Structures are given as C-alpha cells and as structure tokens.
Amino acid sequence: MRPSLLKSTAELLRRSRGYASSANPERKVAILGAAGGIGQPLSLLMKLNPLVSSLSLYDIAGTPGVAADVSHINSPALVKGFMGDDQLGEALEGSDVVIIPAGVPRKPGMTRDDLFNINAGIVKGLCTAIAKHCPNALVNMISNPVNSTVPIAAEVFKKAGTYDEKKLFGVTTLDVVRAKTFYAAKAGVPVTEVNVPVVGGHAGITILPLFSQATPSSNSLSQEDIEALTKRTQDGGTEVVEAKAGKGSATLSMAYAGAVFADACLKGLNGVPDIVECSFVQSTVTELPFFASKVRLGKNGVEEVLGLGELNDFEKKGLENLKGELKSSIEKGIKFAHGN
C-alpha cells in the first residue's frame, strides 16, 4: 500500500509531463520554514518528488526532528536539517530552487495585511541570505502577503546586485488549485482534466479566476454561478481559516500547491518543454510592475510571461477593480524594503 502511495503521489506531481529519471541532473531544493504548518507537509511532498536529489530543510527551530522524520522515507532525495541563523548559509549553498513558506499564519479576523510587519521582516532576512549563498536559485515565495513579499524580495536582490526577474516567483498555485476544484464540482466535469487560469495577485479581490477560459468548457454554469465561484476562489483562504476555528490556516492544500509549482520549476530547469503555470512575477502584461498570469517555465526560470487572453465583461471589470489594491500592496513591499 505504501509503495503505491509513494508512486501515485509522485505521479500526481509529475502530472503526465515527460520524465525520464536517467536523464535528470541532480537538483537541490531548500525549504525555508520547513518546521511550520506548510513547511512540514511541503517537506514530505518534496521528499517524494523524484526530481529532487538533495532536500535542505531550514527553520529557526524544530528542523532536526522534521528532517529525521522525513529522511526515513524510502525515496531518493537526501535530507538534511538546519536550524538557526548560523546554519542558514549552509542550508542554502548550491540550491537550485528555494521555497519560502516561512512566517506566521493567518488567524481568524486577520487580513493578509495584518501579517505584513512580521512576515516582511522574515522574508527580507531570508532573501538577503539567498542573495549571498545561492544567487542563481529559483525563488518560490509562499510567505504572505505574496503581493508584498515578492516586491520585497526583488528590492533585496536588486540591492545585492543579484536580481534576475526570471528567477523570482510568487506562488499563486493554490488559487488555481481551488478554482479547478470548485469549477469541476459545479460544472460536473472530471477535476483532473480541468484547467483554469487565475491572474492578478494572491489576496481577496486581487485573485481573478478566468472561468471563461476554463477547460473543459461548460454551458451549464450561469453568470450567477460564475460570480459565486469567483467569490469562493477569492475567499478560499478565509474559508479554511474559519473552518479551523482559530487553530490554523490553509497549510495542507498550500503545501500541495507549493509542491506542484516547485515540480514545474524543476521540470523547466531540466528542459522539459511546455511547462506553463500561473505565477506572480515581474510583468508588463498590465501597467503594474508585478502581476500573476500564465508563465512558461524553462532552464532559466521564466521563459515567457504569457498574456491574459480574451476576457469577458465580468473579468474585465474584475481586472480593473483589483488594480488599485494590488498596486498599493506592491508599493507597500517596495517601501518596506527601502525603509527598514
């Protein structure tokens, strides 16, 4: 049973894309915040990924136990745990992909903005270390508020002289995962066959699922259904926070989404063609400096930032409505990076 679970989980992450184990180079993945609510299941999922040869788990506390636990799993990745500031450099050295779920989670009544001051400082410190120890790594930002933490990271890297816009990603994959799940259930189509682009940002109204571009298309959904699906996708994080009644936020689904996006990055690095995922990146798709849209991934990270495609009137309105809030969040991150 367990070997089949390992196989099916790895297969799910592979998602039918080309994979030949003998042809893949060794890849090191570092997870910063590996002992937390997202970090632990994310560590488990990355240990199961056959593209990972070395898995570096870092946190301020608790990492030796997580690393020991995960290391017993009979999959190829070699696991090492690192703890505290003095071990951060060693944890990062030689990393191809760095995933950052570090920071405090949302609690009931908290907005992503409430998280800002704590998580912004954590991200700034970690990115300073990344610039020093693995400046060429692809950085996958999970720490919220992503709309601000990605601009913070960019400014830290610019200051260090290491910034490459092709290698910095805000992980918005959970918005896509939710949109797929909710759409499939409402449209009555197989969830594994569904694709829904989600653009904009990664908080509230800045999350804009483009259900008009969903595949397979469905004629059974009314405009009211689409509006309800949009709202549920935007409020998905709050739905989980409230359901956990003060005892956590979306950790398991976020870990899954983070593992899916990291897997796509690894495939891109390894030269697998046609790897496209939505991500919050430096962009000229709109007038905003950062924006989430479909991105083609490759050996250097971002190969191409894809356009929004054709939007219907509801989506056009949503796009205009999100710009003010997203612009403000981006500017808040840039200001923090320069002012602290």
Q: Cα(187)–Cα(331) distance, rounded to whole angstroms?
A: 38
* Numbered residues of the known binding site for substrate: 106, 112, 144, 178
Write out the catalytic residue numbers: 202
- CA Rg, the chain, in Å? 19
DSSP string of 29-61, one letter each residue: EEEETTTSTTHHHHHHHHHH-TT-SEEEEEESS
List the structure tokens of 228.
Answer: 């309800």
Q: Cα(211)–Cα(213) distance, rounded to whole angstroms?
A: 5
* Numbered residues of the known binding site for NAD(+): 33-39, 59, 119, 142-144, 254
Cα angle 125, 129, 131; round to 5? 115
Residue 26 CB: number of other CB atoms within 10 A?
12
Between β-strands 138-141 and 97-100, what pairing exists: parallel, antiparallel or unpaired? parallel
List the structure tokens of 202.
Answer: 């990664």
| DSSP conformational letter for 250 | S
Q: Cα(16)–Cα(31) distance, rounded to whole angstroms?
A: 25
Hey, what amino acid is at 263?
D
Q: Cα(322)–Cα(229) distance, rounded to whole angstroms?
A: 17
Between β-strands 97-100 and 54-59, what pairing exists: parallel, antiparallel or unpaired? unpaired
